[in-house]
Structure 1
Amino acid sequence: MTAQNTGLAAAAEKVKLIAAEHAAQADATRKLAPEVVEALREAGFARHFVAAGRGGAQGTFAELTEAVLLVGQGCSAAAWCASLSAYSSRFAALLPREGHDEIWASGPDAFVVTGQPPMGKGTAVDGGHRLSGRWTYVSGVDFADWALLCGVVGEEGRFFAVPRKDFTVLETWDSVGMKATSSHSVVVDDVFVPSHLSFSRTDLVTGTSWSPVESHNVPFQAVGGLTFAAPAVGAAMGALDACVSVLSGKKQAVTSAVDLVRASGQVESAKLLVEQNARVLDDREFTPAAMARNERNVAYAAEVLVDAVGGLVRAAGTSGLAEGGALQRFWRDVVSSSSHVALRYETASVRTYPASLYG
């Protein structure tokens, strides 16, 4: 397909600067500054996949990936939330037409967050369902307008869109990395969800929507862990910049130079892989082999990024681990983000990629 430039990548340059300015504060307070949240909203991350008819950008995966990489160089947590806000709106697009009317009633910039594992239980009632449950690791929930939560109804998995007034947030996120993603727990207690705010999990898996927008009709396997890998790559790019800053003007040992060169190659290779994944999605190359390769790519990228940032810390030496310094923060963030279940070989690719090789 022909890429449509929405201006998101250009706007992300400004977000990068604002996020970088507040990154140390975000790490210390465990939440994004209001200025950063507003910058994400103004840049258009939440509206990126929203239909043009709703005032959205109806953008591409490639431009979103580029924008997330940029923000990640300034603040890993901001990039994580930027990515999740865009992809969660893509999920919300699977709701019936009346659901679109409600989610985006006030405009396309509503922040939607997602609890993907089926941790709730829904009971069918007249006009919809009653939903209860507790969902962990719901990133960006501090500033969410809606939560899209998966629950089980009989034998079926379903997603339910719940407005902010109808769920409680428990501050349970306590990771040593990606501290400011607000990946807390969400609790819903016997809330009525009308039918137009729910859709089958099967629709998400198969990428089936009534909407004609191409990005709303993409199999879940094809996207895979790109949502999480792109922020990790951006963070590693930020770590590379931070390492160079530490080493500039210092006499470098040969070992530092070797570590720096190796890490730069690893970061660049991971960047190329996530960019390839985005092109596959925009080109709608949804063959089993292409989708399996996408899964492999993000798992491999996560693996090499952890090695890369470790090498950058070695290259920088003790000064690179200064409390409050950017390098050690990026290091923790990359290690934390790369542990996500969607970026693990056994989850992302072992079941599918070998089969694509064997034919």
Structure 2
Amino acid sequence: MNQDFSADAAVRSVIDGVRDLLPTIRERADEAERLRVIPDASVKELEESGFFRLLQPKRYGGLEADPVAFFTAVRDIASADGSTGWVSSVVGVHPWQVALFADEAQQAVWGADQNVRLSSSYSPTGKAVQTDGGFQLSGKWSFSSGCDHCSWVLLGGLVFNAEGQVVDFRTFMIPRDQYQIVDVWNVVGLRGTGSNDIIVDDVFVPEAFTLSMGETGMCRGPGQEVNTSELYKLPFHSIFTSTIATPIIGMAKGAYAEHVEMQQKRVRAAYIGEKASLDPFAAVRIARSSSEIDAAWALLMGNIREEQAYVARGEQIPLELRLRVRRDQVLGSVRAIEAIDSLFEASGGRALAEGTYLQRAWRDAHAGRVHAANDPERALQMYGAQQFGHKIDPGMY
């Protein structure tokens, strides 16, 4: 599988710059947990590296990069700290969706400052009522990761007509002065993500600042008129669910590296001073875990590559492939978490110490597992049902 994006020097420079930041990001992991948000310094350094512009339109100073390059950077960041990788992923992907909005909305976000960032909460827990020229939006949304580092938010909401009937499901884009952040993030995993609540109280949202999820489900959006790159013709759910799986795979990558290093130094007192690295069962566990991590990554990126090939040929992406993306995305998360579990169980008591990557990755990965995008039964049921010839709700893939 070809993942070579080195031909684009600017993108390659971003990837290299991100990798230069990894030791410092890892050193700040404890600080992120203590603060319950990513340290400002880390966000600033990632901004300066160009990371947040990878999926941003070139018209607004972005790179319109290969999504595999973006996911590679996310994986590497998460291998240094899970919370930083998680926030980088979900905040870093939002320019891709903003590029699908009407240009009026894009101009409002990036016209004055091309470094503007957005957080999100897509669960349709808010209520929008149709009015002249737009919608009145109210509600409370949870789990808006990285919201303290952002000046706009993307919110999911059901649209009601005057008769009180649901007529659409949309994403609403709101500036910082029109919503409240409520600090509720006191958790055991992904502690540094600052995934707080968002409250909106009867705010008018113009039509241009909304995007129908039905339209994005068909790989369409008004922003495609001005952002013509093939990047913005990929399926929303393929990009966004991969955004959730990738940091978990990155956590597994980091956990694997620390486990190998620890075992090379470890002497097992219970086995008469045997070096852990000489234990044949430990070697087998490493082999199995590394294979699961590699498989998760290869399938995730391989599917994205297949979708890109269809877009490049101007062909519609088959439903089976889009569902396969979801199948391998949720199972990629499962593979990565099971690899972390296996490595953690075999690492000995020292892995329990505060400050070790392994115990943090174990907590962070299991916290990431509860995200709706990582619900394996629903994603796998869709794939299996399609294989049996049953009709699948297009909004679900």
Question: When the two structures are superposed, what TM-score results if normalisation uses the length of structure 1?
Answer: 0.93
How far off its partner does 1:124 sit? 2.7
1:229 has 2:260 as partner? no
Aligned partner letter, 2:368: S
**Cα distance in 2, alignment partners of residues 120 and 249 from structure 1:** 53
Show the counterpart of 2:258: 242
> 1:169-188 CA deviation, whole Å, 9 max, x = no partner?
11222331111111111000
Show the counterpart of 2:290: 264
Show the counterpart of 1:120: 126
- Structure number with greater Rg is 2
**Cα distance in 2, alignment partners of residues 350 and 278 from structure 1:** 21
SS at match of 1:64: helix
1:1-359 paired onto structure 2 within 5 Å: 5=8, 6-7=11-12, 8-154=14-160, 155-210=167-222, 211=224, 212-223=228-239, 225-250=241-266, 251-252=275-276, 253-284=279-310, 286-356=317-387
How far off its partner does 1:269 sit? 1.5
SS at match of 1:225: helix
> 1:16-56 CA deviation, whole Å, 9 max, x = no partner?
23311201221232211111111222223332222111111
SS at match of 2:205: strand
% identity of equivalent residues? 26
8 Å Cα contact 2:181/2:196 also seen in 1: yes
SS at match of 2:155: strand
**Cα distance in 1, alignment partners of residues 140 and 25 from structure 2:** 30
**Cα distance in 1, alignment partners of residues 21 and 385 from structure 2:** 40
**Cα distance in 1, alignment partners of residues 285 and 218 from structure 2:** 43
SS at match of 1:175: coil
8 Å Cα contact 1:111/1:146 also seen in 2: yes
SS at match of 1:351: helix
Quick one: structure 1 residues 32 and 290, their matched pair in 2 at CA, closer, same or farther if it must change by over 3 Å? same
How far off its partner does 1:308 sit? 0.7
**Cα distance in 1, alignment partners of residues 306 and 196 from structure 2:** 32
**Cα distance in 2, alignment partners of residues 17 and 356 from structure 1:** 45
**Cα distance in 2, alignment partners of residues 224 and 96 from structure 1:** 20
SS at match of 1:188: strand
Aligned partner letter, 2:284: V
The aligned length equals 359
Show the counterpart of 2:393: none
Aligned partner letter, 2:109: I
> 1:230-271 CA deviation, whole Å, 9 max, x = no partner?
100011100011112211223113433332222122212212
**Cα distance in 2, alignment partners of residues 348 and 180 from structure 1:** 28
Quick one: structure 1 residues 259 and 297, their matched pair in 2 at CA, closer, same or farther if it must change by over 3 Å? same
8 Å Cα contact 1:146/1:161 also seen in 2: yes
Could you tell which deviates more after superposition, 25-34 or 271-280?
271-280
8 Å Cα contact 1:90/1:216 also seen in 2: yes
Gaps of 5+ in 2: 161-166, 267-274, 312-316, 391-397
Runs of 4+ in 1 over 4 A off after TM superposition: 1-4
